[in-house]
């Protein structure tokens, strides 16, 4: 499975609540259209500070943007993320 174009967008950022959405383009070389993968947010030293899961259906041999949102996320951890990468 190939994953690229990972991007985030802050949805709510106030004193009481913080939430964000994340998306990634996923290419599915497998025969099964069900896709599930974990993304990890890394700090500037390369350590994982956040993990989330993207799942959905991507037809075999095709690519599709998968997205999810994290509600009530930890703003302090999110601010430490320097880059996102596939964990598994």
The CATH number of the domain holding residue 12 is 2.60.40
Q: What are phi and psi of 78, to 5 degrees?
A: -55, -40
The confidence band for 1, taking pLDDT boundaries of 50, 70 and 90, is confident
Q: What is the mean pLDDT of residues 5-23?
A: 96
Write down the pTM of the prediction. 0.90
Convert 20-82 into a string of H (helix), E (strand) and C (coil): EEEEEEEECCCCCCEEEEEEEEECCCCCEEEEEEEEEECCCCCEEEEEEEECCCCHHHHHHCC
Q: How many domains does the chain have?
A: 1
Write out the residue range of the structural domain in which residue 72 sits: 2-86
Answer yes or no: is pLDDT of 48 > 90: yes
At 62 the pLDDT is 96
Q: What is the mean pLDDT of residues 70-85?
A: 96
CA 55/CA 45 separation, integer angstroms: 28
């Amino acid at each position: 499975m190939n994953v690229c174009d990972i991007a985030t967008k802050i949805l709510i950022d106030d004193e009481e609540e913080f939430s964000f959405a994340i998306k990634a383009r996923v290419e599915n070389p497998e025969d099964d259209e069900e896709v599930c993968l974990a993304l990890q947010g890394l700090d500037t030293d390369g350590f994982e500070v956040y993990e989330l899961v993207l799942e959905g259906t991507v037809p075999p041999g095709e690519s599709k943007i998968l997205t999810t949102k994290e509600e009530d996320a930890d703003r302090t951890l999110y601010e430490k993320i320097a880059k996102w990468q596939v964990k598994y």
